[in-house]
Structure 1
Amino acid sequence: MLARLKAFFAAEAASSRQGNHESHELHVAAAAMLVQAAMSDGQVDPVERERIAVLVERHFGIPNAEVQEILRESESRAEAAVDIFSFLRVVNDHFDHDERIMLIEMLWDVVYADGVLDDYEANLIRRISGMLGLTDVESGTARKRVLARRENGADDSDATHPLDSGQATDQA
């Protein structure tokens, strides 16, 4: 009986610790991947940084003040990281298939933010897609959705007034 009580309280403590801390770490890992994609051409343009903030706010429903904190932390971690694998592991452990596709779409969105797709950026996204268990077709479809929004002049840069949520996440 005592063992069951200890197990119960240990499980309760673990679940309460995981809540916000775990989601914060997940958001930082995903944002760090976006930062690394922006850095893959040698620099993070201000337009790419702003796009990352908008995407994090829109897709994760995070208030702007917290987005700025996540962005600072993710930039610091991305700059210090030797590779992207630690961030990939966090995402692979917590994102389902559709969320992984959403992340690839976010990556395409960031690398197109400055209007130029660099070969290093495209290569990075292709490698990340494979490591997330996504096909080239799924990545290509996500890329096409981003390009279609850009061609249609859809301006969703204000995350408090994003595009129709169905349009932003459709899995065509």
Structure 2
Amino acid sequence: MLRTLKELFNALAEPSAAALPEQREHRLQLATAVLMVEVMRADAKASESERQAILDALRERFALAPDEVDGLYELARSTSHDAPDLHSFTSRLNKGYSAEEKVRIVEYLWQIAYADGHLSHHENHLMLKLGDLLYIPRGDFVAAKQRARAAAGLGAG
């Protein structure tokens, strides 16, 4: 788990070819978590249900212990606040994940957007932008959205 400011800066730096697999995994975890936080912050009110959706998604995606999930979430919140753009995070995911893994991450992002029971215009706009930045084919993007909407109990729409 990333624990110090120095590790944070190292995590944000472009990984070297000699980077340990664990360091590369931490960078991917942080990039994924930052995008989740960005989706939560996209509408005017970040809800507890959205925060819980992030924690659940991080736990499921990365099989982390509860304290590691909490630490990653807090680090992602502070990193998100200071990030000038999303490109450094999406480019890291594009390099580190397969197309199938990225579609699964997009589905998690949709679950966070729907966690409060509705999808705001800002959340939808951000999701479209992230889908493009992650090079998700439109059919896969829409299918991930529909699965997340159904999982939220919102039915077709």
Report TM bin, short chain. Answer: 0.7 to 0.9
Q: 1:83 Cα deviation (Å)? A: 1.4
Give the direction of change, closer, same or farther, for the CA distance of 1:41–1:15 in structure 2 (3 Å limit): same
Q: 1:142 Cα deviation (Å)? A: 0.4
Q: 1:111 Cα deviation (Å)? A: 0.5
For 1:42-53, list aligned pairs within 5 A.
Answer: 42-53=44-55
The range that moved more, 28-37 or 144-153, is 144-153
5+ residue gaps, structure 2, are 1-15
1:36 aligns with 2:66: no
Q: 1:52 Cα deviation (Å)? A: 0.1
Report the TM-score, using the length of structure 1 for normalisation.
Answer: 0.76
Work out the CA distance in 2 between the residues paired with 1:81 and 1:98. 26
For 1:14-25, list aligned pairs within 5 A.
Answer: 17-25=19-27
Aligned match for 1:121, one of 103, 120, 123: 123
The Cα RMSD (Å) is: 1.9
4+ residue segments displaced more than 4 Å: 14-17
| Amino acid of the structure 1 residue aligned with 2:139 | V
Work out the CA distance in 1 between the residues paired with 2:45 and 2:59. 22
- Size of the aligned set, in residue pairs, is 140
Contact 1:37 1:125 in 2 (8 A): yes
Aligned match for 1:138, one of 131, 140, 148: 140
Work out the CA distance in 1 between the residues paired with 2:43 and 2:151. 23
Structure whose alpha-carbon radius of gyration is higher: 1
Contact 1:53 1:67 in 2 (8 A): yes
| Amino acid of the structure 2 residue aligned with 1:29 | A
